[in-house]
């Protein structure tokens, strides 16, 4: 439902929405893919070295058709990254490095939220507050300032709303609708001082949107408290892909069934229901007795390709075929994510898109 923010915490005329900015859908034409080079051993204990090959393959696929911009701490990290990217055979002409040190690799959550003014072509950045998913993984001071550093480098207008928000917690249909989850955005470890209505107000005013639709809980193993990019993804203005669990004995089954029922009740701004396409889940991926948040929904939509995490599972090909059916003009490619998911996220969690003016 649409919401008016009556909070006196900011002036509406100072917000992106009032100035004609909005957050484009991921399938809109992109200028670049932004990444933060993985370097934190604690995020992939014992497996950090194994993720560089699939990560670099991700870069290669996207860099065939568009720019890829990578945050690194220093020249040494740049050289290290280049050895892996060159080994993958990537088009280096489309790859650039930016000296923005980070605590971790999850650019979807700490990276810049790029806005676009469709009338003027001007871009801007929202730098939301960032606290590593409710303070779970300190320190996060470097990650928190990445959007501001990028805005300064590219001389872009910067908005800094005083609340915590992560890019993986919100989905956009490109026509005024945001989708998110109560499990994450209403969690007391994010913005306990704000009401649901106030949070909606921030979302609408700083992303330049008209309504917020709410799902419930996230999948088992998701340490973000239920990010939507592991559950339900807009693929056009009125269609969502949503994961469902086939095994009724699986812990994810009731969670995902409840979200499916919520989706059926939702309406777009013009009153139409959503077109819902179901996507299977892989079998549980377990490592060191921990169930990991493996989901085919954590794909990244680039200009010419959709990169999908796969898990050496019987449902891999079925998931790829379903995703291909909703992206007929893009090549859908699966990349093995069995090692990457040990970090509790995959390609969408690792990435952030910059729209083309």
The predicted structure's pLDDT at residue 1: 38
SS3 of residue 146 by DSSP: helix
What span, in angstroms and rounded, lies between the C-alpha atoms of 177 and 266? 11
Q: pLDDT class for 55, splitting at 50, 70, 90?
A: very high
Residue 11 falls inside a structural domain: no
Residue 298 falls inside a structural domain: yes
Distances (CA, A) of 59 to 37, 56, 81, 207: 11, 5, 11, 27
pLDDT tens string 279-304: 999 999 999 999 999 999 999 999 99
Record the pTM. 0.96
pLDDT tens string 7-52: 446 777 899 999 999 999 999 999 999 999 999 999 999 999 999 9
Residue 117 falls inside a structural domain: yes
Averaged confidence pLDDT in the chain: 96
Residue 47 falls inside a structural domain: yes
Positions marked active-site: 349
The predicted structure's pLDDT at residue 199: 96
Residue 138 falls inside a structural domain: yes
CATH number of domain containing 84:
3.75.10.10
pLDDT tens string 174-223: 999 999 999 999 999 999 999 999 999 999 999 999 999 999 999 999 99
Residue 6 falls inside a structural domain: no
Closest to 233 (Cα-Cα) out of 304, 179, 307:
179
- Name, in order, each residue with C-beta under 8 angstroms of 317's C-beta and a sequence gap of 6 or more: none
Does residue 285 come out as left (phi exceeding 0), alpha (psi in the -120 to 50 range) or beta? beta
Number of compact structural domains in the chain:
1
Residue 323 falls inside a structural domain: yes
pLDDT tens string 88-125: 999 999 999 999 999 999 999 999 999 999 999 999 99
Residue 95 is part of which domain span? 17-355
Residue 260 falls inside a structural domain: yes
The predicted structure's pLDDT at residue 2: 41
């Amino acid at each position: 439902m649409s919401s008016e923010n009556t909070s006196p915490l900011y002036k509406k005329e100072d917000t992106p929405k009032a100035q004609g900015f909005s957050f484009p859908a991921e399938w809109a034409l992109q200028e670049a893919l932004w990444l933060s080079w993985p370097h934190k051993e604690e995020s992939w204990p014992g497996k950090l070295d194994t993720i560089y090959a699939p990560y670099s393959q991700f870069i290669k696929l996207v860099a065939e058709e568009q720019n890829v911009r990578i945050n690194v701490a220093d020249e040494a990290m740049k050289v290290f990254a280049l050895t892996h990217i060159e080994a993958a055979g990537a088009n280096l002409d489309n790859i650039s490095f930016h000296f923005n040190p980070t605590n971790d690799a999850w650019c979807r959550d700490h990276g810049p939220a790029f806005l676009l003014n469709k009338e003027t072509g001007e871009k801007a950045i929202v730098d939301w507050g960032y606290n590593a998913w409710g303070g779970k993984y300190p320190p996060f001071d470097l990650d928190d300032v990445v959007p501001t550093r990028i805005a300064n480098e590219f001389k872009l207008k910067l908005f800094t709303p005083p609340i915590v928000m992560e890019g993986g917690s919100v989905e956009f249909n490109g026509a005024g609708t945001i989708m998110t989850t109560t499990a994450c955005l209403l969690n007391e470890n994010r913005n306990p001082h704000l009401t649901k209505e106030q949070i909606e107000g921030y979302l609408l005013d700083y992303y330049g949107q008209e309504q917020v639709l709410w799902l419930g809980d996230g999948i088992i193993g998701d340490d973000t408290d239920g990010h939507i990019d592991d559950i339900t993804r807009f693929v056009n203005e009125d269609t969502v892909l949503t994961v469902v669990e086939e095994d009724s004995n699986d812990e994810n089954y009731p969670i995902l069934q409840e979200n499916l029922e919520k989706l059926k009740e939702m309406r777009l701004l013009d009153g139409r229901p959503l077109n819902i396409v179901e996507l299977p889940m892989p079998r549980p991926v377990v490592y060191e007795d921990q169930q990991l948040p493996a989901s085919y929904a954590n794909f990244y939509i680039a200009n010419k390709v959709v990169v999908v995490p796969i898990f050496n599972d019987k449902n891999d090909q079925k998931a790829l075929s379903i995703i291909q059916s909703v992206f007929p003009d893009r090549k859908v490619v699966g990349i093995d994510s069995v090692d990457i998911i040990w970090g509790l996220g995959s390609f969408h969690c690792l990435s952030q898109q910059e729209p083309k003016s």
